[in-house]
Amino acid sequence: MTELYLANAQKLKDQSNAGAEEWLDIHNFVNVNVCLVDRSQNLKLPYRFKLYDKFKMPRNLSNSLSYEECCERRATELYEKSKQLNLPLYVFYSGGIDSTLVLISLMKAIPENDWSRIVVVMSLDSIREFPEFYYKHIRGKLEIVSSENMSMFFNKKCLIVGGEHNDQLFGTDVISNLQSKIPFETVFKDYDKDTIMRYFIEHKMSEKSSSLWFDIVDDNAKKAPCEIKSVHDFFWWLNFNYKWQAVFFRMLLRVDKQYRHLIDQDFVDTHFHHFYSEEYFQVWAMTNKHLKIRDSWDSYKFHAKDLIYKYTGHKEYRDFKQKANSLHKLFIAKDTPIALTSNYEYLYKVDTNELYVPENDFIKE
Amino acid sequence: MKNLNCVVDISSRAILTFTKSYSCAVAVSQGLINTEPLIIPTALPKVTSMAKQFDLINDHLASTPDAWLTSLPKKLITTEYLTRRKLANLRATYIFSLETHLESVTQRGNINFDDSVMMHLIRAHSMCKPEEDYYSYGVIEYANIQNITPKTAYQEIGLMIESCGLIKIRSFAWMQTCIDKINAVTNTNDFVPVWKDCWEIVKRSAYT
């Protein structure tokens, strides 16, 4: 029986499947290129998605490390793995906050005389996004290769290190949708149905599915192992709980045809690493909501930016750098399949009837 | 006045459509038998004053042997001519629209310098043998002026070539795919679904 890890939501649209339209409507708010999957396993989706084992929601929130400690630990683990397998670290670098911090963490964890095991996968856009970092910290110090043909690195000859999941830890990419629509002070107020529904409807969700999705997330939030209280918390949880899996797999979905036969569980376990995926990062995010945003929209990821500032001394980047959508440039013009199954099969067509789950939580009277 | 780009029927010299770019004229001509792209040199003052006598949208025009404009003789305004003209106009509209949208993708492949430097960079880069620690004079010059090692210069130039080249190759490939689809349409009613298909390609390429 086919189960999916990831799919393009738009391609699963089938009005004959009860509940499907209401489930899909949230993607007007989140993104149509991904599908939301519940890590808390409370929700019955209208299509058969499998939750990746590693992504079950953490329940034990004790022993939380600081964000900096998480970065140090992760960088050290990747360095050890690189030495153990004798494979270089191919770090996908966009010049944005997340990947800059990945590189900095690795450069701090790895002795300078061993920096040759770091290869920076980048483009001209990466230089444009943070020129000072490239010229001062990468150029002449680290090997660089072009990211335009990213698939060729999915060859089991390196350890791929991406910067995904930092947005989910901080809530950025969902929260940033709201920037132009709500006064900043609103994010710290306790969430309520009217407020949340209003934002959903503003993003072209129907009233019915807005109400349904609020109830779903609200019910889920009440069972969450951490407090979900404010408007910010609510949207952070929506991102952190439901979008996590899609974000992990979306790069794999864009691997070119000639390399797909190499993508299997062994590849994912050994060669494919997103820096911010580990459980200790998630525990940090669940126990440190006060460290995600401060007093303005610009302060988003201030904690991450502070660590970058500590290394680079670049004040302007710390104070003003905002999120830029860099992934789409990597994925541009890719002939992307619709879905990835839990057996790592790439699907260009899906049979929505075959995948449909009639007893789902999106059918309401 | 800028030069006018057009598609001309090679037997009757009837102008089937004016296009906003020469590459668009080439693309339209590819899909219409017995046609060729042509430039009317209306940037030249004499030609400009001649061209201003005509309504370029509504008049039936022809090109002269020396690439001026003239009225198309009435006997050549046949049903076949009118059908080809309508088809050419529609294709030109869609193809130019594609060209314009894809330009935003293609421009990503531009460096902060005249594009003509790219072929010199490619040559200099290809002459290097980094595994033997041999670098071409062009790469060494770049390195010396930038105060970096030849190895770093080689990598940096390689990044530019790869980035710019692949972006442009992709745009070119997508454009050819869409041109082929549009040029295959013979019934004017069939443009809408074909355009929808092409628009998906453009969206994926330019506006993901």
Residues 45-104 of B with CB under 8 A from A: none
- Please state, in angstroms and rounded to a whole number, the distance separating the CA atoms of residues B154 and B143: 8
Predicted TM-score (pTM) of this structure = 0.86
Residues A257-287 as b/e (b if ≥16 CB within 10 A, e otherwise) read eebbeebeeebbeebbbbbbbbebbbbbbbb
Top-confidence residue, B204 or B58: B58
**Residue A93 · residue A103 · CB < 8 Å:** yes
Top-confidence residue, B95 or B115: B95
CA geometry: angle A47, A48, A51, nearest 5 deg: 120
Complex ipTM > 0.85:
no
DSSP state of A137: I
- Please state, in angstroms and rounded to a whole number, the distance separating the CA atoms of residues A78 and A178: 35
Chain A contact for B158 (CB, 8 A cutoff): yes
Residue B208 has pLDDT above 50, yes or no: no
Cα distance from N-terminal residue to C-terminal residue, chain B: 37
Top-confidence residue, B207 or B50: B50
Q: Which residue in chain A is spatially nearest to B203 when comparing CA positions?
A: A333
Percentage of chain B modeled with pLDDT above 70: 98
Residues 104-143 of B with CB under 8 A from A: 105, 108, 111
In tens digits, chain A (365 residues) has pLDDT values of: 899 999 988 888 887 888 888 898 988 888 777 789 999 998 999 999 999 999 999 999 988 899 999 999 999 999 999 999 999 999 999 999 999 999 999 999 999 999 999 999 999 889 988 999 999 999 999 999 999 888 889 999 999 999 999 999 998 666 666 766 777 788 888 999 998 998 899 888 999 999 999 999 999 999 999 999 999 899 999 999 999 999 999 999 989 888 999 999 999 999 999 999 999 999 999 999 888 888 777 788 888 999 999 999 988 888 777 766 666 666 665 678 889 999 999 999 889 999 999 999 988 76
CB contact under 8 A, A149 and B166: yes
| Nearest-CB residue to A144 (from B111, B159, B166) | B159
Count of CB atoms situated within 10 Å of the CB of B201? 19
Residue B102 has pLDDT above 50, yes or no: yes
**Residue B39 · residue B3 · CB < 8 Å:** yes
Which residues share a beta bridge with B38?
Answer: B6
| Nearest-CB residue to A332 (from B148, B155, B205) | B205
